[in-house]
Amino acid sequence: MYIVRRVGLMLITLLAISFATFWIISLPPGDYVSTLVAQAETRGESISAERIAALRDRYGLNDPFLVQYWKWISNIVFHGDFGESFAWNRPVSTLIWDRVGLSFFLSVSTLLLVWAIAFPIGIYSAVKQYSPGDYVATFFGFVGMAVPEFMLALIFLYIGVRFFNQSAGGLFSPEYVDAVWNLGKVLDLASHLWLPVLIISISGTAGLIRVTRANLLDELYKPYVVTARAKGLPEWKLLLKYPVRMSLSPFFSTVGWLLPGLISGETIISIVLSLPTTGPLLFGATESQDMYLVGSFVLILSALTVVGTLLSDIALAWWDPRIRHRYQGS
């Protein structure tokens, strides 16, 4: 029952988002077709009047705002048609779809690495507060948060070129870029992937260590921990079962927000290292004001955000019985 109501709310939010997105799309002066025509003219080509008329009709450019909006959203919902990118002259959906796989792969591997490193260190750092290990972790945390990601990427690029004489950009060596998938290509990918994964992980890890440490410190000296200790529980068992479990609640309440990030990937790093993920695509689109592409991105990411929020709430209810019972009560 609760979930049904939440889904209803979600649909309303999505509607609002789609309006906002369409508004952003229509912000830049001139519409899609006139941009297209202007572009063609700069190249010295011309587009036939029929084609222009057909395109104007396709996007409803002669219609009032609401009709335009309806044409746009109904095409997306019923046909999966996000419109055309004028910069690429290809459907937006294929453009995005081509790159989602790699973005997803990159984000997931980064995320797993960040969790695997940051949680244990954060827990250690909290339990051994003010120990040398804690100071090292804290120092690393501060440094990691103060270096902009793209700086890290630049530094690694520089080190790669200067000392190892190899270019660190891209995900594939030139000979594999257009090759079909085989073992060689997979290995080639792996040999290129570790660097972006490492760079993205550094800042993420630094932040998560700080958060884990602070959240756990909030819980570590609560009375229920003393109770559990008074039972005679061994320290490490006690730690994992009680304070760590409690300190993860905020984590679960935001875990769904990772969803849009999985698709959008690490935009800046991808641009600097020229990785074929969705980030640079979006970036290029904003630069050239390729608004259908930008709008589609915003719409997809926002939709994922809304879905992610719902997933977060469900995850939190599963994790924390207090939340679960509050929902059942209402």
Q: Which of residues 238-257 bind another protein (CB under 8 A)?
A: 241-242, 245-247, 249-251, 253-254, 257
In 43-148, where does DSSP find H-type helix? 49-58, 65-79, 92-127, 132-146
Residue 200's closest CA among 146, 270, 136? 270
| Sign of the four-CA dihedral 115, 108, 280, 298 | negative
Count, residues near another protein per rule CB under 8 A: 90
Interacting stretch for another protein, rule CB under 8 A, among 33-41, 48-56, 69-77, 142-150?
Answer: 142-150
Interacting residues with another protein between 176 and 205 (CB under 8 A)? 200, 203-204
Residue 93's closest CA among 293, 264, 310, 306? 293
114 binds another protein (CB under 8 A): yes
What's the DSSP call for residue 170?
A: S
- 175 vs 28, 188, 222, CA distance in Å? 40, 10, 59
Interacting stretch for another protein, rule CB under 8 A, among 57-65, 67-75, 90-98, 302-310?
Answer: 302-310
- Work out which of 52, 55, 117, 145 binds another protein, going by CB under 8 A: 145
- Work out which of 193, 297, 314, 317 binds another protein, going by CB under 8 A: 297
Closer to another protein by Cβ: residue 47 or 217: 217
311 binds another protein (CB under 8 A): no
CA 247 to chain centre: 24
Closer to another protein by Cβ: residue 50 or 235: 235
**CA angle 292–295–296, rounded 5-degree value:** 85
294 binds another protein (CB under 8 A): yes
Three-state DSSP state, 91:
strand
- Work out which of 10, 47, 55, 147 binds another protein, going by CB under 8 A: 147
Closer to another protein by Cβ: residue 93 or 278: 278
83 binds another protein (CB under 8 A): no
102 binds another protein (CB under 8 A): no
* Distance between CA atoms of residues 2 and 171, nearest Å: 44
8 binds another protein (CB under 8 A): no
What's the DSSP call for residue 90?
A: E
Cβ-based burial of 167 (10 A; exposed 0-12, middle 13-18, buried ≥19): middle
- Work out which of 39, 109, 173, 289 binds another protein, going by CB under 8 A: 289
143 binds another protein (CB under 8 A): yes
75 binds another protein (CB under 8 A): no
